[in-house]
Amino acid sequence: MIIKLYNPNMQSTIESCFKICVETLGWEYQPHGRHSDIVNIEETYMRCGCFWCLFQDDVLIGMVATHCIDSDNKVAEIKRLYVLPEYQGNGYGGILFKHALDYVKDQGYKTIRVDTRHDRVASLHLINKHRFRRVERYNDNEFAELYFELDVKKNESEESSMNPANKGAERFSRSEKFRMTIDYNKLAQDYDLTRTANINIINLFAAEMSLDSITILDFGCGTGNFMYVIKKLTTAVLYGVEPSDDMREKALSKGLDVRNGDHSIIPFGDSFFDFIYMTDVIHHVQDLKIMFSEFFRILKPGGFICILTESHRQLETRFWVKHFPTTVAVEKKRYPDIPDIIIAAKSYGLDEYKIITTDTDSDITITEDFIKLAENKGFSMFRLIEESDYETGLIALKTDFANQTTIHNNHGETLVWLKKGGAI
């Protein structure tokens, strides 16, 4: 396998390869229309960028290009990433994308952009992997649906800050640091021991709408505990989206249909779902507006969204705050408060439908299951506070468990119901 810089002798082979790639995607090859850049590579790319071809055993199997779109502000774009169908799934697209990315960085570009479509799942995976962020439309490409941008300096700073060798370097903002220091693949090892589906929440879903014979998305489904129960109880068609490879693998082992994705890339078509729910996930989402724009896109008109979360007031009333008081400040940094969620949703055309709280008022004692959860750090907050605070709190928790100390509990959660206008 070798990557070669374009030369005119490759032209006819490039056109043949490109034609196969686009026709496989169901598009018509238009050399004198939308694909005219492919027959004018020298002028389109080589004068202000580059065009590379990937060869295996002298067979051209893929391509990628870059070009400058704003020389004053040093903005480049990656284009025409294609691999022949029979060679896909072997990482060749990733090799080409990384080659182009490294080139534009080496050329001193400050910003790198790329556009794509919802159905280009492999490309979306690469874009997400290299930490591009979703942005508004920046060109007039009528065939593109999604637009992404990478701030080179910020990206290099973040990569450096995640390197253990650079402990003295400037870190992320506090909330970003909290998100990045949780290893969800490691957490997946014990997740099912401490996290189970709450049948009371599922009953609250069902009280608002029938869950039979509809299409449902569990966004951020983890190991699929909620999906598994709903699948057993209803005739719904269920899908999940989960970015953690290990969490997703556990969900797949339960016979569930779970796809790789996150808040910026949800790999489903427009108006696909009747109902979207997320349980204790929203505090992991880095950009609510991007998430809600995707929810609006994939939700059918008249469809519902339910977000299970906690208000800032509810974060203060968790019974374990007595043992782990520093978790409150940590959690408020991560959790958007309820008004913030509603404002973000409305900015993308979703309507507030109903707010339900499950606050209780009772006396409880610590259970063995909660001790196990705390010992396994089953709540991510336990992984974010100082280890000394965690150890002190765990001792206090176990003491109350041993003594069966009565603790007053007036805690609960909030279900934020949203609706997309129009009839299903």
The overall longest dimension of the chain from CA atoms, in Å, is 82
Residue 1 has pLDDT above 90, yes or no: no
Residue 51 has pLDDT above 90, yes or no: yes
Residue 162 has pLDDT above 50, yes or no: no
pLDDT at res. 398: 95
Residue 170 has pLDDT above 50, yes or no: no
pLDDT level of residue 47 (50, 70, 90 thresholds):
confident
pLDDT level of residue 76 (50, 70, 90 thresholds):
very high
Residue 182 has pLDDT above 50, yes or no: no
pLDDT at res. 155: 66
List the structure tokens of 63: 């391509």
Total Cβ atoms within 10 A of residue 402? 10
pLDDT level of residue 263 (50, 70, 90 thresholds):
confident
For the segment 266-290, the average pLDDT, to the nearest whole number, is 92
CATH number for the domain running over 2-161: 3.40.630.30
Total Cβ atoms within 10 A of residue 336? 19
CATH number for the domain running over 182-420: 3.40.50.150
List the structure tokens of 119: 């159905």
Of the chain, the percentage scoring pLDDT greater than 70 comes to 89
pLDDT level of residue 172 (50, 70, 90 thresholds):
very low
pLDDT at res. 111: 96
Query: Please, what sign has the CA dihedral across residues 360, 365, 369, 375?
Result: positive
Mean pLDDT of the chain: 87
Query: Please, what sign has the CA dihedral across residues 310, 315, 317, 322?
Result: positive
Show me where the domains of the chain are located: 2-161, 182-420
Q: Tell me which range, 193-202, 210-219, 355-364, is most confidently predicted by mean pLDDT.
A: 210-219
Same fold, 2-161 and 182-420: no
Q: Report the C-alpha gap between 343 and 355 in whole angstroms.
A: 14
Residue 224 has pLDDT above 90, yes or no: yes
pLDDT level of residue 89 (50, 70, 90 thresholds):
confident
pTM of the full predicted structure? 0.59
